Each structure stands twice: as structure tokens, then as C-alpha cells.
């Protein structure tokens, strides 16, 4: 056999076979590549068709945002193709609508987010679940925009005067307060346990770099500086109501467009607000109460919400608050010796509430924004 293989004639024959076989293999390879290219082109075409079909489904929903009220999921037919639309309302701060379309076995999904419309209280300058009281010699309180009170306005002290541009008293508490949702699923909302769970959920919604979460029963003093730029939430979590107090002192170092929310299970003491930088806001959420004293000229911009009482005391100079104040148990401007002014300026960005306020429940504008705030191709 080896003798034959070394034979020249035999070698030529083998070479010929080799060449022929190579050509056959290459031809087969090319043929299969072509078939595969064709299949790939088909898949690409189907994928593109499915994508635009899903997009058409989203547009159908934007045209009629009530279409999922009766049926969820809902199938829409366009020509011979079908789109499945479904909604997910499990997130109390937003609705997610997903359109799924399939062509030739290729499925594409597009999801859009519709933020929940903020409660009515965010349209008010001042919302109080209790009374609003003003006391002090020559104390002056001016509130521009809407004031909505579940109690009444009361003033005391020589020369004390309160002026309201648009005030309504004796309103139901639901219209003037915010409620913490039943975040711990025990069947009762607005409890301290709900507040803890709610705040933890909020913290989890943001990236690690955007959040400072401190678990302590001690007092936390914050002297804001430029290193806080980019932070969204500072959550001071105490183990029981009234622990984890926060003092904010000398905050004259705000950066433009800073939008920070401090959440505390205790009381937030905002000592001498000094927010002179425009387009920045400091928002507060406190379980126990909110204190804001100032002895010099002071300004504060942002949304303040306390489950307890908001106290503005020792106002010895002109003091201006711009934004919204919601105090579930009432507002006291005590020992105001100078001039306290509240102005309304929507603290909402593109109709979305500031960090930390997502999901707080109030009455009023039911439903979701008609404009999506987020678009996502789930297939990519």
C-alpha cells in the first residue's frame, strides 16, 4: 500500500481527489452561507417589522390611554398582524405599558413609563392637615398661591397679621395631607413601619452613588457642601419614631440644579436656610416634625413634607420659602418678629415629584401623565 501511495500516479490521483473534495466542500459552504444569509435577512426584516408594530401599539395606547382600563392585556390587530398591550400598575409612582409584537417567530417588546400624576397638594403653597397659627409681636405672614387648611388660621400677638392670596379652611384631611402607602403590606397605610419600608424602597430605586443611607438613632448634622452635588436622597433611619433627627446648618453652598431630599424618621431642623442659588432645591420628608428657625435673612426652595407639625419659629429677619409645604398635623409660625413669606413655585420637574416623594398618596388628580417619561426597547 505504501508503495502505491508513493507512486507518482497515485500521488496525482490523491491530489486530484483532494482538490475536488475541497471544491465540493467550499461550494457546499458557500451554498449554506447563502441560505443562512437569507435566513438572517428574514429574521432582521421580521425583527424590524415586529419593532415598528410594537411601536404602533404604543402609539395606539397614547391615542387612547383608557384602552387598558377594561382589558389587560389587550390584543390589537393591524392588518394580519397582532400586538399585545399590557399595563403594570404595581409601582405606585408609575404605570408601565408594554407592547409586544411577533413576526415570523421574532418577538419585540417596547415598554413606556407613565408617571403618576402628583397629588393636588403639590399645586398648593401651603397645605395643613391641622390649623395654621401665627403668633408674635408685629408678626407678618404672607402666603401667595393656594393655601388649603383642614383646620383654621389663627393669629395672636400685638400687630400680628396674616395675608393669604387664596385660602380655603375646614377642608377634609385627605385634601390637605399626604399619606404613606401601605408599604409593609400589613393592611394599614400611614404607619411608622410603612414609612421605614417606603423610604427603604425609595433608597433602592436610586443608584448607590445617588444615595446616602445612614441607620442611626443619633442626631445627624449636615453642613451641605459641593460633595453632595449629584446626590438625590439622604435617608437617616432611626429605629423608632423621633429618632434619627437631622440638623441642616449653613447650607449656602448649593450647586445649580441640585435637587436633594432629606428623609428622617425624626425631626428635621433646618437652621437658617441660605439657598441663594437659583434652580436648586432642598426637599424634606420627616416623620416626626419640621423646624425652621432663622435669625438672619433666609431663603428656602423645595418641597417640605412632614407627617407631624411644621414649626417656623424665631423668625427675626425676612424669611422666604418657595415651593410647597405639606404638614399633616398643622403649621405654626411662632414668635415671628419679622416677616415670613411663602411663595408658590412648582417644585415638580416634567410633572414628576422630587426624589423621595414618588408614591406618597394624596387626593386629587387621579391617574397618570399622558406623556411617557421613559421609553425602553426590552429586546435590546
Partner 1 sequence: MKKQAVLFLFFSIILFIIGVNLFLKISLEKQNTVVKKTPPKLSHSTSKAPNQSRRKKVWTKAELAKMGIFIQSKENIPRTPLQWDHYMKKVLIDSKVLEQPSAKEAMTKMAKTPEKYTKRMEEVNARIKSFEEKLAADPLNEDVEKRLQALYMLKALGEVLKDKIVSP
Window 244 to 303, contacts with partner 1 (CB under 8 A): 247, 249-250, 252-255, 267, 269, 271-272, 274, 276-277, 291, 293-297
Q: 221 or 346, CB closer to partner 1?
A: 221
Question: Across 14-135, where does the E strand assignment appear?
Answer: 74-78, 81-88, 94-103, 106-115, 126-128, 132-135
Q: Which of 121, 139, 141, 212 binds partner 1 (CB under 8 A)?
A: 212
Piece of the chain touching partner 1 by CB under 8 A; list 59-67, 75-83, 84-92, 160-168? 84-92
DSSP letter at 293 equals -
Which of positions 140-199 make contact with partner 1 (CB under 8 A)? 181, 183, 185, 197-198
CA 118 to chain centre: 11
Least Å distance, CB 137 to partner 1, is 11
CB atoms within 10 A of CB 53: 22
Longest dimension (CA), the chain: 128
Q: Does 319 bind partner 1 (CB under 8 A)?
A: no
Question: How do beta strands 298-306 and 94-103 pair?
Answer: unpaired
Which of positions 51-70 make contact with partner 1 (CB under 8 A)? none
Q: Which of 146, 148, 231, 232 binds partner 1 (CB under 8 A)?
A: 231
CA-CA distance, 74 to 66, in Å (whole number)?
11
Q: Phi and psi (nearest 5°) for 33?
A: -60, -45
Size of the site for partner 1 (CB under 8 A): 97
Q: Which of 68, 317, 351, 373 binds partner 1 (CB under 8 A)?
A: 317
Question: How do beta strands 374-377 and 106-115 pair?
Answer: antiparallel
Piece of the chain touching partner 1 by CB under 8 A; list 55-63, 160-168, 310-318, 343-351? 310-318
- For the chain, give the number of residues: 380
Nearest one of 27, 332, 302 to 149, comparing CA atoms:
332
Q: Does 98 bind partner 1 (CB under 8 A)?
A: yes
Least Å distance, CB 129 to partner 1, is 19
Q: 147 or 184, CB closer to partner 1?
A: 184
Q: 122 or 235, CB closer to partner 1?
A: 235
Place of cell 429618632: 243
Q: Three-state SS across 223-264?
A: CCCHHHCCCCEEEEECCCCCCCCEEEECCCCCCCCCEEEEEE
Q: 32 or 71, CB closer to partner 1?
A: 32
CB 233 within 8 A of CB 255: no
Q: Does 214 bind partner 1 (CB under 8 A)?
A: yes
Q: 62 or 297, CB closer to partner 1?
A: 297
CA-CA distance, 275 to 223, in Å (whole number)?
13
Q: Does 316 bind partner 1 (CB under 8 A)?
A: yes
CB 112 within 8 A of CB 372: yes
Q: 66 or 380, CB closer to partner 1?
A: 380
Q: Which of 7, 11, 12, 22 binds partner 1 (CB under 8 A)?
A: 22
Q: Does 357 bind partner 1 (CB under 8 A)?
A: no
Piece of the chain touching partner 1 by CB under 8 A; list 62-70, 107-115, 159-167, 300-308? 107-115
Amino acid at each position: 500500500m505504501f508503495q502505491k501511495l508513493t507512486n507518482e500516479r497515485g500521488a496525482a490521483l490523491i491530489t486530484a481527489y483532494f482538490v475536488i473534495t475541497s471544491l465540493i466542500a467550499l461550494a457546499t459552504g458557500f451554498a449554506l452561507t447563502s441560505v443562512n444569509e437569507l435566513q438572517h435577512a428574514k429574521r432582521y426584516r421580521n425583527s424590524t417589522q415586529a419593532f415598528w408594530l410594537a411601536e404602533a401599539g404604543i402609539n395606539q395606547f397614547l391615542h387612547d390611554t383608557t384602552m387598558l382600563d377594561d382589558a389587560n392585556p389587550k390584543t390589537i390587530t393591524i392588518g394580519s398582524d397582532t400586538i399585545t398591550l399590557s399595563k403594570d400598575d404595581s409601582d405606585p409612582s408609575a404605570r408601565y405599558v408594554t407592547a409586544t409584537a411577533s413576526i415570523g417567530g421574532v418577538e419585540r417588546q417596547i415598554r413606556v413609563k407613565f408617571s403618576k400624576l402628583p397629588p393636588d397638594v403639590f399645586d398648593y403653597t401651603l397645605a395643613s392637615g391641622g390649623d395654621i397659627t401665627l403668633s408674635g409681636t408685629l408678626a407678618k405672614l404672607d402666603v401667595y398661591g393656594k393655601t388649603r387648611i383642614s383646620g383654621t388660621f389663627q393669629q395672636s400677638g400685638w400687630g400680628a397679621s396674616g395675608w393669604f392670596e387664596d385660602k380655603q379652611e375646614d377642608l377634609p384631611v385627605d385634601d390637605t395631607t399626604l399619606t404613606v402607602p401601605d408599604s409593609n403590606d400589613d393592611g394599614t397605610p400611614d404607619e411608622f413601619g410603612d414609612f421605614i419600608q417606603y423610604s427603604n424602597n425609595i433608597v433602592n430605586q436610586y443608584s448607590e452613588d445617588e444615595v446616602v443611607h445612614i441607620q442611626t438613632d443619633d442626631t445627624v448634622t449636615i453642613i451641605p457642601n459641593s460633595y453632595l452635588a449629584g446626590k438625590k436622597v439622604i435617608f437617616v433611619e432611626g429605629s423608632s419614631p423621633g429618632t434619627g433627627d437631622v440638623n441642616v446648618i449653613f447650607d449656602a453652598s448649593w450647586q445649580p440644579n441640585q435637587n436633594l431630599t432629606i428623609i428622617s424618621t425624626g425631626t428635621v431642623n433646618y437652621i437658617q436656610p441660605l439657598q441663594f442659588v437659583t434652580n436648586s432645591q432642598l426637599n424634606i420628608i420627616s416623620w416626626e416634625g419640621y423646624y425652621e428657625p432663622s435669625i438672619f435673612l433666609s431663603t428656602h426652595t423645595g418641597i417640605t413634607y412632614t407627617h407631624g407639625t411644621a414649626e417656623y419659629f424665631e423668625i427675626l429677619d425676612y424669611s422666604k420659602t418657595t415651593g410647597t409645604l405639606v404638614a399633616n398635623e398643622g403649621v405654626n409660625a411662632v414668635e415671628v418678629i419679622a416677616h415670613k413669606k411663602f411663595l408658590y413655585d412648582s417644585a415638580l420637574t416634567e410633572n414628576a415629584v422630587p426624589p423621595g416623594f414618588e408614591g406618597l398618596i394624596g387626593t386629587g388628580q387621579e391617574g397618570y401623565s399622558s406623556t411617557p417619561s421613559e421609553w425602553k426597547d426590552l429586546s435590546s
